[in-house]
Chains A and B, each alone.
Chain A
Amino acid sequence: MEGILNQLPIGLSIGAVLLLIALGLTFTFGQMGVINMAHGEFIMAGAYTAYLLQDFAGRNAVLVALPVAFLVAGLMGLILERAAIRHFYGRPLDTLLLTWGVSLVLQQVARDLFGAPNVQVTSPTWLQGTLGPMPYNRLFILLLAVGSVVAIWVYMNRSAQGRRMQAVMQNRQLAATSGINTGRVDQRTFFIGSGLAGIAGVALTLIGPVGPTLGTYYIVDAFLVVVAGGLGQLRGAVIAALALGLLNSYAEFWTNASLAKVIVFVVIIAFLQFRPQGLFVLRSRALT
C-alpha cells in the first residue's frame, strides 16, 4: 500500500522531468512547426554547462548554471536558426533531416571536447535528503518546472514581445501585415525554446547521466508530450506531461519498465486516434 501511495509523488516528479524537457519544444515545434531533432543536444549543452561551471562554483554549480545554460543553449539555438533552419521553413521533412544531422554533429563535438565517458556533476549538499518518498532533488526539479511554466506564461501574456510571439503563431501573414517583424520573432522564439532545453539539461544532471548521448534519451519523450498536449499549448503540455508521468509511474509499478513504455505509447496512439490535434487546439483563422 505504501508503495502505491509513493507512486503518486513519483509520477508527479516524472511528469515534472517530462515537462521540463518538453517546454522548449512547445516553442520551437509547437509554435514554429520546426521538428528540431537537435533539441536533445541543447539539453546536453545545458548539462555540460553545469559540468564546466563546477570549477568556478563548486557544489552549487547547478544553481549558477541555470541562467548560464539558458544563454548557452539559447545562443546555440539562435545560431542554428539563423544559419540553417530559417532556409527550411515550411519544409518539415527537410528540417527533420537537417536537425537530425546537426544533432549527430553536436554529439560528436561533445565526444571530442569532453570524451565519450560520462562526466560527473556533483549535486549540492542541500539537495541531499528526502521529504517522505520525494528526494529533495526531485522536489527541486518540480519547483523548477513550475517556475519555468509561470515565467513563460507571464512572458507570453504580459509582455509586448510575448504577445507578438502569439500573434505570429496564430496568423503569420496577418501579423506580418500588422508590422510585426516575423523574422525577429522567430529568432526570439527559437532562442527561448532552446534556452529552456538548456535549463532542463542542468536539472537532469541531478538524476541522470551526463554524456554525449544524453539528449537521445529524452528527445522522444519530449515530442510525445508536445504532440499529446496539442501544438503550441502551454497548458496542454503541462497536463500531458503530468498525465504521462502518472501513467508511466503506475504502469511501471504494476508491470515493468519495458512494458510501461509500451503501455504509454499505446495510450498515446489510441488518444491521438480520437484527438489527432492533441489535448488543446489552437483556433485561428489562418489559412494553413
Chain B
Amino acid sequence: MLNAFLRTAVGAGLVLALAACGGEPTESTTGGAAAAGGDTIKVGLLHSLSGTMAISEVTVRDAELLAIEEINAAGGVLGKKLEPVVEDGASDWPTFAEKANKLISQDKVATVFGGWTSASRKAMLPVFERHKALLWYPVQYEGLESSPYIFYTGATTNQQIIPGLDYLKEQGKTKIFLVGSDYVFPRTANKIIKAYAAANGMTILGEEYTPLGHTEYSTLTNKVVQAKPDAVFNTLNGDSNVAFFKQLKSAGVTAESMPVLSVSVAEEEVTGIGVDNIVGHPVAWNYYQTTENAANSKFVAAFKAKYGDAKVTSDPMEAGYNAVYLWAEAVKKAGTVEVEAVKKASGGIALERPEGLVTIDGETQHMYKTARIGIIQPDGLIKEVWNSGEPIKPDPYLKSYPWAGSLAS
C-alpha cells in the first residue's frame, strides 16, 4: 500500500518535473528517445476491449498486432523490434484520454494506434497535441478535422459518404431517411448529407438519432416505414445495428423495397447482425475482404492463419493494419522515431496495401483512398459493385465541393 503510494508520488513528481521544463521542445524528443532506447521500440495500441464498442475495436487491435508481428519477423524498424503496449479504452471517452496520457507519459511509446468512435478521438486529440505525440486513427470518420498530431488512415467524408450518396443518386434513390447513433460522427455526417442533398435535388424525409447501445427500434422502424423513403442512410454504430436490422427485417422491410446504405457495417458486423437480416443491403467502404490484389490475399491468409479460419477482415481492420506499416515506413525514411521527423518524412509515402494504393497526403495527414460500394452477399462477405476508379485525394474540409461551403466553419 505504502509502496504503491510512493510509486504514485514519485510518478507524479516526474510528471511535474517534465512539465516544469515544458518551455523547451524537449518533451516529445525525450519520449521518442526513451521509446527507441534498448532493443525495442514501444508502440501503444489503445482500443475498447470492453464495453459496447469492443465488438468492433478488438478486431482492429488484432490486425495491428498482426502488422507488428509481420514487421518484427521482417527485421523490425531501424534494426529494433516493435513492442506493443495494449491498453483498454473501455468504450468510455475520458478513459481514452487517460490511457493515451499513460501510454505517452509513462510507457513513453513512440506512437499510438487507437480509437474508433469520433468521440474517443476528440477526447484523445488534446492529449496528443499537448504532448506533441502521434496518434494513428484507423476508422472512417466525419471529416472537418486535421490535427497535426493525428494521422487518419480511414476514409474522410469525400472518400466514403459522398461516394455513397453519388451511388444512391445514380440508382435513382432521391428520397432519403437518415438514421444514426446520437454522437458526433452521425450528426456531422448527416449535416454533410443534408448539404449534398440540397445541392443535388435529393429530399431528406427524416433524421433520427438513437443513443449508443440502443436496442429498441420498433418505433423508429414505424417512422421510417411511414415516411416511405427510397433508401435509408445508416450511420448507427456498434450493437445498435444488430437490433436495427433484425427489427427492420421482421417489420417486412427488404433490401429490394428499401435499401439501407451503411457506413459502419463491415464484414465483422454482418455475422452478428445475421446475414439473413442484412443480405442485399449496400455498404460504403474502401476495402472488402473480397478486394482482389496480391497484398490482400496475403493479408487475409495471414489474418486467418493467426486468428482462425472463421475470422473475416474488414475496412477498419485493414486501415489499422496499414497504419502500422505506414508509420514504420515513415520511421525508416526519417531514420528516427522522433515525432516531428516522422511527420516530415511521411508526406508522399505510397504503399500497395490490401485496399490498393495508399498514399499519405502530407498536408492533411489523411490518405489517398479508393472508394468502394459493396452489396452484402448471402455468404456474409461483401461484393464490390462500384468503385471510384482511382484513389481519391482526401478533402476533410470539403473545400473542393462548392455546396459544402458553410460546413467547415
Contact = CB atoms under 8 A, between A and B. Distances in A.
Interface of A: 2-3, 6-7, 10, 13-14, 17, 107-108, 111, 116-123, 127-130, 133, 135-138, 206-214, 216-218, 248-249, 252-253, 256-258, 260-261
B44 to A, nearest CB: 20
A256 B208 contact: yes
25 contacts: A3-B226, A13-B218, A14-B218, A17-B216, A108-B50, A116-B49, A116-B54, A117-B55, A118-B242, A118-B269, A118-B273, A123-B250, A128-B250, A129-B252, A130-B250, A136-B250, A208-B242, A210-B242, A214-B239, A217-B214, A253-B223, A256-B208, A257-B220, A258-B210, A258-B211
B405 interface: no
B222 A6 contact: yes
Q: Name the residue in A107, A111, A137, A252 with the highest tally of chain B Cβ atoms < 10 Å from its Cβ.
A: A252
Contacts of A137: 250
A247 B244 CA distance: 20
Contacts of A258: 182, 209-211
A257 B208 contact: yes
B11 interface: no
B51 interface: yes
Given A118-B55, A138-B218, A207-B243, 7 more contacts: A14-B218, A209-B239, A210-B242, A211-B272, A253-B219, A253-B223, A257-B220
Given A3-B222, A119-B271, A213 B216 contact: no
Contact of A257 (B49, B209, B271, B273): B209
Nearest to A130: B252
Contacts of A253: 219, 222-223
Which label, helix, strand, loop or mixed, suits the secondary structure of the A interface?
helix
Interface in B254-280: 268-269, 271-276
Contacts of B220: 252, 257
A104 B52 CA distance: 13
Interface in B222-262: 222-223, 226, 239-240, 242-243, 246-247, 249-252
B234 to A, nearest CB: 14
Given A7-B222, A138-B250, A122 B242 contact: no
Contacts, number: 135
Contact of A213 (B54, B182, B219): B54
B205 interface: no
Nearest to B275: A120
A195 to B, nearest CB: 22
A216 B238 CA distance: 14
Contacts of B252: 129-130, 135
Nearest to A136: B250
B322 interface: no
Contacts of A248: 216, 219
Contacts of A119: 271-272
B182 A118 contact: no
Contact of A122 (B50, B58, B274): B274
B272 A120 contact: yes
A232 B120 CA distance: 41
Contacts of A260: 219
B215 interface: yes
Q: Name the residue in B211, B219, B269 with the highest tally of chain A Cβ atoms < 10 Å from its Cβ.
A: B219
Contacts of B274: 120-122
A7 B218 CA distance: 9
B359 interface: no
Nearest to B312: A117
A249 B219 CA distance: 6
Nearest to A253: B219
The 10 closest A-B pairs by CB, nearest first: A118-B272, A209-B242, A135-B250, A257-B210, A209-B239, A3-B226, A116-B58, A252-B219, A208-B215, A120-B274
B219 A7 contact: yes
Contacts of A120: 271-275
A257 B218 contact: no
B281 to A, nearest CB: 16
B276 to A, nearest CB: 6
B59 interface: yes
Contact of B243 (A7, A123, A208, A216): A208
B268 A207 contact: no
A24 to B, nearest CB: 18
Contacts of B272: 117-120, 209-211
B239 to A, nearest CB: 4
A116 B251 contact: no
Contacts of B247: 135, 207
Interface in B48-87: 49-52, 54-56, 58-59
A158 B185 CA distance: 55
A218 B214 CA distance: 10
A207 B248 CA distance: 10
A123 B249 CA distance: 11
Nearest to A3: B226
B362 interface: no
B268 to A, nearest CB: 6
B213 interface: yes
A8 to B, nearest CB: 11
